[in-house]
Structure 1
């Protein structure tokens, strides 16, 4: 063996059809046909496994999509903003939802422009996945 060169193996070490034919008392052509049948069966098993995997993935996606709630925001609604910055430091009594904020504009890509409801207003742009719809409090009247 020379470093960096491929080795030259006798054909009976690379393809075991000749050895198999001698062990099973078959002719070489019968052994080759049997070997091709086994390879085809292996390909069929592989295709069946791939098909089964696709079916299982489709079923899992369908099951997970069943529990997705679609949230539609429109301008003028109020929303709470999830604050993920302090999720490890806060105690269990504190809330992680900030706001409420007023929705100014909803974009096609899922971004939402918010503004505070305080007299001093500032705008911020957030992802709609971080929002929860807030129902305005009822008035005393």
Structure 2
């Protein structure tokens, strides 16, 4: 920049205020570049970790899926499930879209992020009732 370090006569290692400020600004730029590099490395590491946790959905035609209901509700019911279905997959489109068919035969096209696999199992059978009075008490001892 054409600036030279000017020393005061008779004082060792003393620079003028302008030159001192110039050195401080250079040091600040170096610190800023170090921080930039550290943030860049952290973002790469975080992206790699996040991508390793993502599992790919393998949903094919004929599978049963649940659909996430993401509509905003002013007074949502706390105990109501936000998943509806099951729906049957009719078509798998590129880039993760699906065409689903409900029990009435109506078709709708949805994004793959709103879908999860539906696991059909044996229906739960009701068991006999158990009264709390019949259980031995731990505090009676």
Secondary structure, aligned partner of 1:84: coil
The answer as to whether partners of 1:106 and 1:112 remain within 8 angstroms in 2 is: yes
The answer as to whether partners of 1:79 and 1:131 remain within 8 angstroms in 2 is: yes
Displacement of 1:38 in angstroms is: 6.2
- 1: CA distance between counterparts of 2:71 and 2:30? 51
1:86–1:41 distance in 2 versus 1, CA, 3 Å: closer
Give the alignment's Cα RMSD to 1 decimal.
3.3
Q: What is the match of residue 12 of structure 1?
A: none
Structure 2: segments with no counterpart, 5+ residues: 10-14, 124-141
Q: What is the match of residue 78 of structure 2?
A: 92
Question: Aligned runs of 1:1-16 on 2, under 5 Å?
Answer: none
Q: Runs ≥4 in structure 1, deviation > 4 angstroms?
A: 30-43
- 1: CA distance between counterparts of 2:35 and 2:110? 43
Displacement of 1:136 in angstroms is: 2.8
- 2: CA distance between counterparts of 1:55 and 1:78? 41
1:34–1:126 distance in 2 versus 1, CA, 3 Å: same
TM-score of the aligned structures, taking structure 2 as reference length: 0.64
Aligned length: 116
Displacement of 1:53 in angstroms is: 1.0
Question: Aligned runs of 1:36-115 on 2, under 5 Å?
Answer: 41-85=27-71, 89-115=75-101
Q: What is the match of residue 9 of structure 1?
A: none
Structure (1/2) with the larger helix percentage: 1
Q: Deviations over 1:101-125 (max 9, x none)?
A: 0001111121111011x2x301000
1:88–1:68 distance in 2 versus 1, CA, 3 Å: farther
